[in-house]
Amino acid sequence: MPKKSDHPIAKSLESAARRSKKEKYVLRLYVAGTTPRSQEAIQSITEICEENLADRCDLQIIDLYQQPVLAKGEQIVAVPTLIKKLPAPLRRLIGSMADKEKILVGLDLKPKP
């Protein structure tokens, strides 16, 4: 009888997990000023990068009050918005960044429950 790890889906998931531990992440967090929600998003995403993506995360925090032109280019309609540029696929997470588990799943750092 084949082991679970011999199953093609299991092998694919293991391979993806190994790749994700090496890949560089490019993230952009769009916020609006120093509101409590913006501060919460900055703190949460910074902690996720430090705890899960040490030395392989390029996090750019963009305040749309200071750089409003960037909102149009990225089609930002609500803040906070986190965009994962790399690794592919591109992902957009919009709204509260308080639920770290949800963010980890959205960044493909954790499998969906």
Name the β-bridge partners of 93.
Answer: 82
Q: Output the pLDDT for position 14.
A: 56
pTM of the model: 0.80
Mean pLDDT value across residues 67-87:
91
Q: Domain count of the chain?
A: 1
pLDDT tens profile 23-44: 899 999 999 999 999 999 999 9
Residue 66, pLDDT above cutoff 90: yes
| Full residue range of the structural domain in which residue 30 is found | 24-106
Distance of alpha carbon 8 from alpha carbon 59, whole angstroms: 34
Residue 8, pLDDT above cutoff 70: no
Provide the pLDDT confidence category of residue 50 given band limits of 50, 70 and 90: very high
The pair of three-digit structure tokens given for residue 52, joined into one six-digit string: 């899960």
Whichever domain contains 57, its CATH number is 3.40.30.10
